[in-house]
Amino acid sequence: MEKKHFIRLQNAVFYGYHGNHHEERFLGGRFHIDVEMETDFSAAAENDDLHLTVNYEAVYNLMQDIVTNETFKLIETLGRRIALNVLEQFVEVRAVKVCVRKPGVPLKGVIDFVEVEVNEHR
């Protein structure tokens, strides 16, 4: 029977230059990101061996690189880019969920944030 385990990185905050408006891409802003990865880390847990599981520091660095060094008009694109890169670079990951929250969106009203959720799997 296939085992399902999850590794989650919650509320990583980065400064990036994403948005549909020129000002957002020029001035930048904060982005809050969650990543949930489905995997099987039984062997890693049994052997207490990082090499047998997903290195979440490497996942964090991947997220940081994409958010801070690339620019997108849509947070949907940002979330999907992170999800697809996680699947591409971490073969142990069977499925990934990425949530991107953007506080301070330029709307005529009061809102905490806008969030998108991207789910990708092998």
Domains of the chain by range and CATH?
5-121 (3.30.1130.10)
CA dist., res. 122 & res. 116, Å (int): 20
Percent of the chain having pLDDT more than 90?
86
Residue 106 pLDDT:
77
4-62 residue pLDDT tens: 999 999 999 999 999 999 888 899 999 999 999 999 999 999 999 999 999 999 999 99
Measured between alpha carbons, how far is residue 121 from residues 45, 79, 95, 108, 109 in Å? Answer: 23, 14, 4, 36, 36
Report, as an integer, the average pLDDT of 75-89: 98
pTM of the model: 0.94
